Structure 1
Amino acid sequence: MHSILSMSAALLAATGLLAGSVRAGEAAQPLAPGYQELPFKLPEPGSYELPALGQAADGRVLDSTGRDLNLHQLYGDKLVLLSFIYSACGDVNGCPLATAVFHKLQKRLLQQPDIARQLRLVTLSFNPGHDTPEVMAQYGKSFGEGLEWRFLTTRSEADIQPILAAYGQTAQKDYDAQGHFTGTFSHILRVYLIDRDRRIRNIYTVSFLHPDTLFNDVRTLLLERPKTTTVLRPPAAGALGPGDVKAGYESGDYQTRSAALTERQGKRADLGSYIKHPPLGLPKVPVPPDNPITPAKLELGRKLFYDRRLSLNNTFSCAMCHIPEQGFASNEQAMAVGIEGRSVRRNAPTLYNTAYLQRLFHDGREDSLEQQVWGPLLARNEMGAPSVGYVVGKLKGLADYAGLFERAFNKRGPSMETLGMAIAAYERALDSADSPFDRWRYGQQAGALGSAAQRGFALFTGKAGCSACHTVGEKYALFTDQGLHNTGIGYRAAMGPAATAPIQVAPGVAVNIDPAALASVSEPRPNDLGRYEITQNPADRWQYRTPSLRNIALTAPYMHDGSLATLKAVVEFYNQGGVPNENLDPLIKPLNLDAGERADLVGFLNALTGSNVRDLVLDAFAAPVGDPR
Structure 2
Amino acid sequence: MKIFIIFCILLAAANAIAQETKPLAPGYTALPFEPAKPGTYTLPIITQAADGEVLTSNNQTKHLHDLMGDKLVLLSFIYAACSDVNGCPLATQVLHKISRQLQKQPELADKLRLLTLSFNPTQDTPEMMRHYGEGFKTGDFDWQFLTTRDEAALQPILDGYQQNVQKVYDDKGQFTGTFSHLLRVYLIDKDKNVRNIYSVDFLHADTLINDVKTLLADAKPQAAVQAVSPEVLFQPGDNKQHYQQADYQTRSLALEQRRGQSANLLAFAQKPPLGLPKLPVPKDNQLTPAKIALGRKLFFDRRLSLNNTFSCAICHIPEQGFSNNEMTTAVGIEGRSVRRNSPSLYNVGYAQLLFHDGRENSLEQQAWGPLLAHNEMANPSIGYVVDKLKASADYRGLFEKAFGKGPTMETIGQALANYQRTLNSSDSAFDRWYFGKQKAALSEPARRGFALFTGKAACSACHVISDKSALFTDQKRHNTGIGYTESMQKAPEKQRVQVAPGVFVDVNSDNLKGLNTEKANDLGYYEISQIPVDRWAYKTPSLRNVALSAPYMHNGSLPTLAEVVKFYNQGGAANENLSPLLKPLGLSDRESADLVAFLEALNGGNVSTLVSDAFAAPVGDSGAIARPMPSTSQAR
TM-score bin, normalised by smaller chain: 0.5 to 0.7
Is 1:476–2:469 an aligned residue pair? Answer: yes
Is 1:467–2:463 an aligned residue pair? Answer: no
What is the distance in 2 between the residues matched to 1:372 and 1:537? Answer: 22
Three-state SS of the structure 2 residue aligned to 1:238 is coil
CA contact (8 A) 1:236 1:326 kept: no
Q: Which residue, out of 180, 187, 193, partners 1:158?
A: 187
* Displacement after TM superposition at 1:501 (Å): 5.3
CA contact (8 A) 1:490 1:530 kept: yes
Evaluate the alpha carbon distance shift between residue 609 and residue 200 of structure 1 in structure 2; reply closer, same or farther with a 3 A threshold. closer
Residues 74-111 of structure 1 show CA distances to partners (whole Å, capped at 9, x for unaligned) of: 9xxxxxxx8999xxx99xxx99xxxxxxxxxxxxxxxx
Aligned residue in 1 for 2:423: 430
Three-state SS of the structure 1 residue aligned to 2:285 is coil
Aligned residue in 2 for 1:418: 411
Residues 270-321 of structure 1 show CA distances to partners (whole Å, capped at 9, x for unaligned) of: 0000111000000000000000111111110000000010100000000000
Aligned residue in 2 for 1:66: 62
What is the distance in 2 between the residues matched to 1:163 and 1:443? Answer: 23
Q: Which residue, out of 343, 348, 351, partners 2:342?
A: 348
Is 1:131–2:111 an aligned residue pair? Answer: no
Three-state SS of the structure 1 residue aligned to 2:62 is coil
Three-state SS of the structure 2 residue aligned to 1:66 is strand
Aligned residue in 1 for 2:281: 287
Provide the TM-score with structure 2 as the length reference: 0.66
Residues 530-585 of structure 1 show CA distances to partners (whole Å, capped at 9, x for unaligned) of: 01001001111000010000000000000000000000000000001111111111
Q: Which residue, out of 489, 500, 521, partners 1:496?
A: 489
Residues 127-186 of structure 1 show CA distances to partners (whole Å, capped at 9, x for unaligned) of: 446436799xxxxxxxxxxxxxxxxxxx9882247889x9xxxxxxxxxxxx9xxxxx99
What is the distance in 2 between the residues matched to 1:236 and 1:200? Answer: 7
Is 1:314–2:343 an aligned residue pair? Answer: no
CA contact (8 A) 2:315 2:342 kept: yes
Q: How do 1:268-417 residues align onto structure 2 when only pairs under 5 Å count? A: 268-410=262-404, 412-417=405-410
CA contact (8 A) 1:363 1:545 kept: yes
Amino acid at match of 1:474: D
CA contact (8 A) 2:357 2:525 kept: yes
Amino acid at match of 1:478: L
Evaluate the alpha carbon distance shift between residue 363 and residue 265 of structure 1 in structure 2; reply closer, same or farther with a 3 A threshold. same
* Displacement after TM superposition at 1:264 (Å): 1.8
Amino acid at match of 1:291: N
Equivalent residue pairs, number: 462
Three-state SS of the structure 1 residue aligned to 2:369 is helix
Q: How do 1:505-516 residues align onto structure 2 when only pairs under 5 Å count? A: 505-516=499-510
What is the distance in 2 between the residues matched to 1:68 and 1:528? Answer: 46
Aligned residue in 2 for 1:14: none
Is 1:450–2:450 an aligned residue pair? Answer: no
CA contact (8 A) 2:262 2:616 kept: yes
CA contact (8 A) 1:127 1:157 kept: no
Amino acid at match of 2:386: V
Three-state SS of the structure 1 residue aligned to 2:611 is helix
Aligned residue in 1 for 2:23: none
CA contact (8 A) 2:114 2:143 kept: yes
CA contact (8 A) 1:61 1:70 kept: no
Q: Which residue, out of 512, 536, 540, partners 2:530?
A: 536
What is the distance in 2 between the residues matched to 1:134 and 1:600? Answer: 36
* Displacement after TM superposition at 1:526 (Å): 1.3
CA contact (8 A) 1:297 1:409 kept: yes
Evaluate the alpha carbon distance shift between residue 518 and residue 473 of structure 1 in structure 2; reply closer, same or farther with a 3 A threshold. same
What is the distance in 2 between the residues matched to 1:592 and 1:377? Answer: 44
* Displacement after TM superposition at 1:449 (Å): 0.5
Amino acid at match of 2:441: A
CA contact (8 A) 1:303 1:625 kept: yes
* Displacement after TM superposition at 1:67 (Å): 1.7
Q: How do 1:212-231 residues align onto structure 2 when only pairs under 5 Å count? A: none
Aligned residue in 1 for 2:620: 626
* Displacement after TM superposition at 1:586 (Å): 0.6
Aligned residue in 2 for 1:15: none
What is the distance in 2 between the residues matched to 1:570 and 1:350? Answer: 16
What is the distance in 1 between the residues matched to 2:548 and 2:190? Answer: 27
What is the distance in 2 between the residues matched to 1:623 and 1:441? Answer: 34
CA contact (8 A) 1:128 1:157 kept: no
CA contact (8 A) 2:292 2:419 kept: yes
Aligned residue in 1 for 2:480: 487
What is the distance in 1 between the residues matched to 2:382 and 2:294? Answer: 18
Residues 444-471 of structure 1 show CA distances to partners (whole Å, capped at 9, x for unaligned) of: 1111001110000000000000000000
Amino acid at match of 1:303: K
Amino acid at match of 1:131: D
What is the distance in 2 between the residues matched to 1:478 and 1:133? Answer: 36
Evaluate the alpha carbon distance shift between residue 584 and residue 71 of structure 1 in structure 2; reply closer, same or farther with a 3 A threshold. farther
Evaluate the alpha carbon distance shift between residue 434 and residue 624 of structure 1 in structure 2; reply closer, same or farther with a 3 A threshold. same
Aligned residue in 2 for 1:9: none
What is the distance in 2 between the residues matched to 1:432 and 1:467? Answer: 20
Three-state SS of the structure 2 residue aligned to 1:158 is strand
Q: Alignment identity in percent?
A: 57
Which segment is superposed worse, 506-515 or 306-315? 506-515
* Displacement after TM superposition at 1:525 (Å): 2.4
CA contact (8 A) 2:191 2:231 kept: no
Q: Which residue, out of 564, 569, 585, partners 2:563?
A: 569
Three-state SS of the structure 2 residue aligned to 1:407 is helix
CA contact (8 A) 1:532 1:541 kept: yes
Q: Which residue, out of 520, 530, 548, partners 1:526?
A: 520
What is the distance in 2 between the residues matched to 1:285 and 1:539? Answer: 32
* Displacement after TM superposition at 1:240 (Å): 4.3
* Displacement after TM superposition at 1:509 (Å): 1.7
Aligned residue in 2 for 1:547: 541
CA contact (8 A) 1:61 1:71 kept: no
Three-state SS of the structure 1 residue aligned to 2:498 is strand
Amino acid at match of 1:387: S
* Displacement after TM superposition at 1:349 (Å): 0.2
CA contact (8 A) 1:59 1:70 kept: no
Amino acid at match of 1:290: D
* Displacement after TM superposition at 1:515 (Å): 3.8
CA contact (8 A) 2:544 2:603 kept: yes
Residues 345-385 of structure 1 show CA distances to partners (whole Å, capped at 9, x for unaligned) of: 00000010010000000011000000000000000000000
**Which structure 1 segments of 5+ residues have no match?**
1-57, 75-81, 96-123, 136-154, 167-178, 180-184, 190-196, 202-234
Evaluate the alpha carbon distance shift between residue 199 and residue 309 of structure 1 in structure 2; reply closer, same or farther with a 3 A threshold. closer
Evaluate the alpha carbon distance shift between residue 596 and residue 83 of structure 1 in structure 2; reply closer, same or farther with a 3 A threshold. farther
* Displacement after TM superposition at 1:514 (Å): 4.4
What is the distance in 2 between the residues matched to 1:536 and 1:326? Answer: 34
What is the distance in 1 between the residues matched to 2:586 and 2:477? Answer: 24
What is the distance in 1 between the residues matched to 2:579 and 2:519? Answer: 25
* Displacement after TM superposition at 1:253 (Å): 3.0
